[in-house]
Homo-oligomer: A and B are copies of this chain.
Amino acid sequence: MELNRELLLDLYSSMLTARFVDERIVDEYNNRNIRGPVHLSIGQEGIASGVLTSCRVTDCVVSTHRCHAHYLAKGGDMPEMVDELYGLPTGCCRGNGGSMHLFDRKVNMWGASAVLGGSIPLACGLAHSLKRKGDDICVAFIGDGGTDEGVFYEALNLTATLGLPVLFVVENNQLSTLTPLSKRQAQPDIAAKVRGFGIESVDVDGNDVIEVYSRAARLIASVRRDSAPRVLVANTHRLCAHVGPVIYQLGGIGGDDELEMKLGREPLNTFVTYVRDNCPGLLDAMDRRKCEILAAVDSAFAGAKERFAAQLAQTNLPAPPPPEPSRV
């Protein structure tokens, strides 16, 4: 696996874009104009960026309620995403989807289901159509909570039996809202279950974008080659509320020590540490990227807020309801 400068910068930009967008959502959320539930990707960006940076634009993706990073890392249009959060007709789904259902056909981001496991069967079908045309593949993201659902196992069996080119990526943050994996799956080794279906499955540290990238690239190459499914179980930490604008907290799950540990291992931090230790010459370029991304995020939100205000002025929409408690 050659990790050249460009690739490292791409991985960094990809993660940072997702991070900055999510952080900005938090900043803006109290204005109560992003009127919908937000399931942030903060802490988990390494997975989306690692996996999707190793994909072609013609590869397809489907996702879950927590789809911000997937959409962005697949190359989804960022201003259109922000407009979508503001419910604008210029949003990627013309205001129909919102935060949980980002969709950008142009880059083969085929949508996100807010029903657990719901997009998994779609991945099977997308892969079937791709297989008939060439060697593109489909990546299906699913949370560990989604792997409680029977349809996940139906899909493992179906893709293995029909020979469908799907890479399932399990984002294992060990949480389903506040319920830990250990309370939901007596045998919490998801990769072991997958292997029972005769499918190659690999665990990876989801907080290490470089490791994710290289594992994913290898698996994707295999999927392309033999049109058989693979599963990547990426272990990570959710550094935000399940839903709502609360970040860098763990809620009921774990104390200060644990938070510190997790913050230390979060993917951007891990990446910067790696670069500092291994190729410090990149840091300048990274800073430039950072500025560019910040500017792009600024501009996207500024535009969206302007359009939102204009739209609001034209309607007699009632005041938004008071905030609900975030589910950390």
Hey, which bits of chain A sit against chain B, CB under 8 A?
Answer: 148-154, 157, 160-161, 183-187, 192-199
Contact = CB atoms under 8 A, between A and B. Distances in A.
A184 B187 CA distance: 25
Contact of A148 (B152, B154, B186, B198): B154
Contacts of A197: 186-187, 193, 196
Given A186-B197, A195-B196, A154 B160 contact: no
A17 B193 CA distance: 40
The 7 closest A-B pairs by CB, nearest first: A150-B150, A187-B198, A196-B196, A160-B186, A153-B153, A193-B196, A150-B154
A196 B198 contact: no
Contacts of A154: 148-150
A151 B151 CA distance: 8
Contact of A150 (B152, B194, B198, B199): B152
Nearest to A162: B186
- Dominant secondary structure of chain A at its interface with chain B: helix
A28 to B, nearest CB: 39
Contacts of A186: 157, 160-161, 197-198
A170 to B, nearest CB: 14
B196 A184 contact: no
A161 B148 CA distance: 11
A229 to B, nearest CB: 9
Contacts of A192: 196
A198 B151 CA distance: 19
Contacts of A198: 186-187
Contacts of A157: 148, 184-187
* Most chain B CB inside 10 Å of its own CB: which residue of A148, A192, A197: A197
A167 to B, nearest CB: 17
Contacts of A187: 157, 160, 196-199
Nearest to A193: B196
Contacts of A149: 150, 154
* Most chain B CB inside 10 Å of its own CB: which residue of A151, A153, A192: A153
Contacts of A185: 157, 161
Nearest to A147: B157
Contacts of A153: 150, 152-153
* Most chain B CB inside 10 Å of its own CB: which residue of A149, A184, A187, A192: A187
Nearest to A186: B160
A6 B193 CA distance: 42
Nearest to A196: B196
A150 B153 CA distance: 6
Contacts of A183: 161
B151 A150 contact: yes
A191 to B, nearest CB: 9
A226 to B, nearest CB: 12
A168 to B, nearest CB: 14
16 contacts: A148-B154, A148-B157, A150-B153, A150-B154, A153-B153, A161-B185, A161-B186, A186-B197, A187-B196, A187-B197, A187-B198, A192-B196, A193-B193, A193-B197, A196-B196, A196-B197
